[in-house]
Amino acid sequence: MNKSSKIYVAGHRGMVGSAICRKLEQDGYTHIITKTSAELDLRDQQAVLSFFESQKPDYVFLAAAKVGGIHANNTYRADFLYDNLMIQANIIHAAYVHRATKLQFLGSSCIYPKMAPQPLKEEYLLTGTLEQTNEPYAIAKIAGIKLCEAYRDQYGCDFISVMPTNLYGYNDNYDLNNSHVLPALIRKFHEAKDNAAQSVTVWGTGSPRREFLFADDLAEACVFLMENYSGRELVNIGTGEDVTIKELALLVKEVVGFKGELVFDTTKPDGTPRKLMDVSKLHQLGYKHKTELREGIALSYADFKEKYVTSL
């Protein structure tokens, strides 16, 4: 990428897209193209084609998606499948039609089979049954990976796919019904501390293990791979380290400064028992994460207090 290349970041208002935009700006890229969902409905094929025709982006970061935690994924199954299929298909096809130099598609670690061996290697894709609660989202993301592969195979497009692990960071979603576990915990502990509550309830048993990557580290990895990787195979992006949900909850509790008790609601689902990424491929390519979990949680909590609490 040249500093003056036209770079379209789809989903620039989200946690991932905004982090990619920040990283590109820090690196001196001067021609970043963005559109809000009100300005451009990415589910509308004709609108997307018209946008690509007028803007002719050289590089595309496909970070736009309908996302959420277990509850949202399980409740809005049709929306998660339809919206994500349409967004991906429209952007990938438009990038081919209007000859973008390169496209990077961002998937999710939920593409891997529920009971896949740990850590999750890239080649485990499509080797088993998916986790039922987020199957529609996973199916959509797998379709995006296969679209990139197919356009590469048939048309020679330089379309690559990257699979981030669980993410957190600036501009996260803190809605208690639709958010992921880490931001939900930050909000729960903050409100419990504010209300002098005696305890905080966490869904599930606390035993599942999860890996967490700070979104700005993901953005750095995405820009690195856009510049240094052009392979057909997807690339995992993560830390290669995981913690139990209980350990995570205790870490957030400590950062927030909540003094009460931790209660686990075992009637609620745990989701996949473990999801740890094998990131040896990423490390061999030359990138390793920089932000450790406790530091990242502290940065996220400061962002939450500044942006979210003041708006309540």
* Catalytic residue IDs: 137
Q: Which residues contact 27 (CB under 8 A, 6 or more apart)?
A: 3, 223
**How many Å is the Cα radius of gyration of the chain?**
19
Dihedral over Cα of 218, 236, 162, 36: its sign: negative
- Residue 247 tokens, joined: 């350990």
The annotation status of 167 as a binding-site residue, yes or no, is yes
The C-alpha atoms of residue 274 and residue 244 are separated, in whole angstroms, by 9
The annotation status of 74 as a binding-site residue, yes or no, is no
Contact (Cβ atoms closer than 8 angstroms) between residue 19 and residue 169: yes
Q: What is the DSSP string of 119-132?
A: SB-GGGTTSSPPPG
The annotation status of 43 as a binding-site residue, yes or no, is no
The C-alpha atoms of residue 301 and residue 287 are separated, in whole angstroms, by 26
The annotation status of 203 as a binding-site residue, yes or no, is yes
Q: Which of 1, 55, 42 is nearest to 23 (CA)?
A: 1
The annotation status of 6 as a binding-site residue, yes or no, is no
The annotation status of 210 as a binding-site residue, yes or no, is yes
The annotation status of 109 as a binding-site residue, yes or no, is yes
The annotation status of 73 as a binding-site residue, yes or no, is no
The annotation status of 177 as a binding-site residue, yes or no, is no
Going from the C-alpha of 82 to that of each of 119, 138, 143, 149, the distances in angstroms are: 30, 12, 12, 20
The annotation status of 108 as a binding-site residue, yes or no, is yes
The C-alpha atoms of residue 209 and residue 3 are separated, in whole angstroms, by 40
Residue 285's Cβ-count burial label (10 Å; 0-12, 13-18, 19+) is middle
The annotation status of 107 as a binding-site residue, yes or no, is yes
Q: Which residues contact 7 (CB under 8 A, 6 or more apart)?
A: 1, 24, 29, 31, 32, 33, 57, 58, 59, 60, 61
Going from the C-alpha of 265 to that of each of 84, 190, 200, 202, 203, the distances in angstroms are: 31, 19, 10, 6, 5
The annotation status of 144 as a binding-site residue, yes or no, is no
The C-alpha atoms of residue 272 and residue 276 are separated, in whole angstroms, by 11
Binding region: 11-17, 106-109, 141, 164-167, 180, 188, 203, 210, 270
Binding region for NADP(+): 11-17, 106-109, 141, 164-167, 180
Binding region for substrate: 188, 203, 210, 270
